Amino acid sequence: MTDQDQRLTLTTAESMADIAPEAWNALAGPDNPFLSHAFLHALETSGSVSERTGWLPRHLLLSTADGRLIGAVPLYLKAHSWGEYVFDQAWARAYEQAGGAYYPKLQAAVPFTPVPGPRLLAGNGPDAPAIRRTLAEGLAAVAGSLDVSGVHVTFLAPEDVAPLAMAGFMARHDVQFHWHNRGYGSFDDFLAALSARKRKMIRKEREKVRDSGLVFRALSGEDITPAAWDAFHRFYRATVDRKWGEAYLTRSFFDRLGESMADRVVLIMAYDGDRPVAGALNLIGKDTLYGRNWGAVVDLPFLHFETCYYQAMEVAIDRGLARVEAGAQGGHKLLRGYEPVTTRSAHWLADPRLAHAVKDFLDRERAAVDAEAEALGEHLPFRRDQSGPDQDAGGGAG
Q: Other CB atoms closer than 10 Å to residue 230's CB: what's the count?
A: 13
Q: Rounded to whole angstroms, how far apart are CA atoms 398 and 377?
A: 21
Residue 393 has pLDDT above 70, yes or no: no
Q: Other CB atoms closer than 10 Å to residue 386's CB: what's the count?
A: 13
Mean pLDDT of the chain: 93
Q: What's the DSSP call for residue 388?
A: P
Q: How confident is the model at residue 398 (pLDDT cuts 50, 70, 90)?
A: very low
21-28 vs 37-45: helix axis angle to the nearest 10? 120
Q: Is 158:115 a contact under the CB 8 Å cutoff?
A: no
Comparison of pLDDT for 245 and 192, the residue scoring more: 192
pLDDT digits (tens, 9 = 90+) for 298-345: 999 999 999 999 999 999 999 999 999 987 777 788 889 999 999 999
pLDDT digits (tens, 9 = 90+) for 61-85: 999 999 999 999 999 999 999 999 9
The pLDDT assigned to 92 comes to 98
Q: How confident is the model at residue 142 (pLDDT cuts 50, 70, 90)?
A: very high
Residue 395 has pLDDT above 50, yes or no: no
Counting residues of the chain whose pLDDT is more than 70, the rounded percentage is 94
For the chain, give the longest Cα–Cα distance. Answer: 69
Q: What is the mean pLDDT of residues 4-15?
A: 85
Burial of 208 (0-12, 13-18, 19+ CB in 10 A): middle
Burial of 243 (0-12, 13-18, 19+ CB in 10 A): exposed
Residue 397 has pLDDT above 60, yes or no: no
The pLDDT assigned to 267 comes to 98
pLDDT digits (tens, 9 = 90+) for 174-231: 999 999 999 999 999 999 999 999 999 999 999 999 999 999 999 999 999 999 999 9
